[in-house]
């Protein structure tokens, strides 16, 4: 019997659906790559490796971290955005994912669609952003830092890269305080921390993990947080908002994304495992060591915070004219 065109299309669609379900139900059947768009040694790398180890055990397949740093994280992010949507290439990223393309001013061919180019998997954690200084700078408070900057002395600060919440928070303070502390972008938190500890730069905006040991030994001093509220991990450190810079709120978060078009069943599988991993006591403890507070939840929560930052911080970037140097 000869099938009509309509019946042929229906049969083809059913075949594609069946193949997709079979793929999702058997997933994974080979190694998974988790791309981190920053060098080894920073928070993102450490947390990604922690999750990858746990995922590998639960999924019974290797889960390998691959570092692809460059251009404020956009090199690795773009790579994942163009990967096959089969669940075997994932992105673990901090929130410069959302803002870096606006600051880098990249051509479309080298960038990615922040809101529609990826499938959110899970909002894994929140992290505080710290303003730290080397004691040799001679300041112990934000007020002293601002006063020093207003003397005209050339000052600089390091950040993990252009478009990071650290970069945005710093330029926000520059604007609000009427000062100019020069931005020195690095390829990740680790290199920025190395230079501020060595005294090559007087200030840095970083997350807690890579600087905790230096704060504890007095090699670095914490001046403030750029977060909207105090961190439970640093209850005695004030926010810039508390210190009179009321509009500044640029904290950090991280999460997993997959390429757009990844089957929903695969996203649900990954989300379910990662939510369980976030509840493990050893994971909570290790995340606290790098200054991360577990979050979790459905993929929609990651989509929501990504979209909110795109609008809110995008407006700040535009108003302050924040661009990559």
CATH, domain range 29-127+251-320:
3.40.190.150
Strands 118-127, 292-294: pairing is antiparallel
- pTM metric for this prediction: 0.85
Segments of the chain scoring below 50 in pLDDT: 1-3, 9, 13-22
CA distance 256 to 272: 12
**pLDDT computed for residue 105 by the predictor:** 81
Q: Which two tokens stand for residue 104?
A: 């880098």
pLDDT of residue 17: 47
The ranges assigned to domains in the chain are: 29-127+251-320, 129-225
Q: Which residues pair with 32 in a beta bridge?
A: 63
Q: What is the pLDDT of residue 5?
A: 53
Crossing angle of helices 74-81/96-104, nearest 10°? 110
Question: Does 3.40.50.150 match the CATH number of domain 129-225?
Answer: no
Q: Give the pLDDT of residue 234.
A: 92
Cβ proximity of 66 and 40 under 8 Å: no
Task: Please check whether the two domains, 29-127+251-320 and 129-225, share a CATH topology.
Answer: yes
| Separation between Cα atoms, residue 119 and residue 72, nearest integer Å | 21
Burial class (CB in 10 A: 0-12, 13-18, 19+), 117: middle
- Residue 179, SS3? coil
Distance CA 130, CA 127 (A): 10
Contact 177, 147 (CB under 8 A): no
β pairing state of 252-259 and 89-94: antiparallel
pLDDT digits (tens, 9 = 90+) for 222-272: 999 999 899 988 999 999 999 999 889 998 999 999 999 999 999 999 999
pLDDT of residue 265: 98
Backbone angles phi, psi at 29, to 5 degrees: -115, 0
């Amino acid at each position: 019997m000869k099938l009509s065109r309509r019946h042929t299309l229906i049969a083809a669609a059913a075949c594609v659906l069946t193949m997709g379900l079979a793929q999702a139900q058997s997933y994974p059947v080979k190694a998974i790559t988790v791309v981190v768009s920053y060098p080894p040694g920073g928070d993102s790398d450490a947390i990604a490796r922690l999750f990858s180890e746990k995922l590998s055990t639960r999924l019974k397949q290797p889960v390998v971290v691959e570092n692809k740093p460059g251009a404020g994280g956009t090199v690795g992010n773009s790579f994942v955005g163009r990967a096959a949507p089969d669940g075997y290439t994932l992105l673990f990223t901090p929130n410069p994912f959302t803002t870096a393309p606006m600051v880098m001013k990249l051509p479309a061919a080298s960038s990615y669609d922040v809101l529609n180019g990826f499938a959110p998997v899970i909002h894994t954690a929140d992290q505080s952003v710290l303003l730290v200084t080397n004691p040799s700078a001679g300041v112990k408070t934000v007020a002293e830092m601002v006063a020093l900057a207003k003397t005209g002395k050339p000052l600089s600060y390091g950040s993990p890269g252009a478009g990071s919440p650290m970069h945005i928070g710093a330029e926000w303070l520059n604007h609000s305080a009427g000062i100019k502390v020069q931005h020195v972008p690095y390829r990740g938190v680790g290199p920025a921390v190395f230079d501020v500890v060595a005294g090559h730069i007087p200030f840095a905006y970083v997350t807690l993990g890579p600087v905790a040991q230096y704060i504890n030994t007095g090699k670095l001093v914490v001046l403030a947080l750029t977060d909207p509220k105090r961190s439970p991990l640093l209850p005695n450190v004030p926010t810039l908002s508390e210190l009179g810079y009321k509009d500044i709120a640029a904290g950090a978060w991280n999460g997993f994304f997959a390429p757009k078009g990844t089957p929903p069943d695969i996203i649900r599988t990954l989300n379910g495992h990662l939510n369980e991993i976030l509840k493990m006591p050893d994971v909570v403890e290790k995340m606290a060591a790098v200054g991360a507070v577990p979050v979790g939840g459905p993929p929609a929560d990651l989509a929501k915070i990504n979209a909110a930052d795109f609008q809110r911080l995008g407006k700040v970037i535009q108003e302050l004219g924040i661009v990559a140097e």
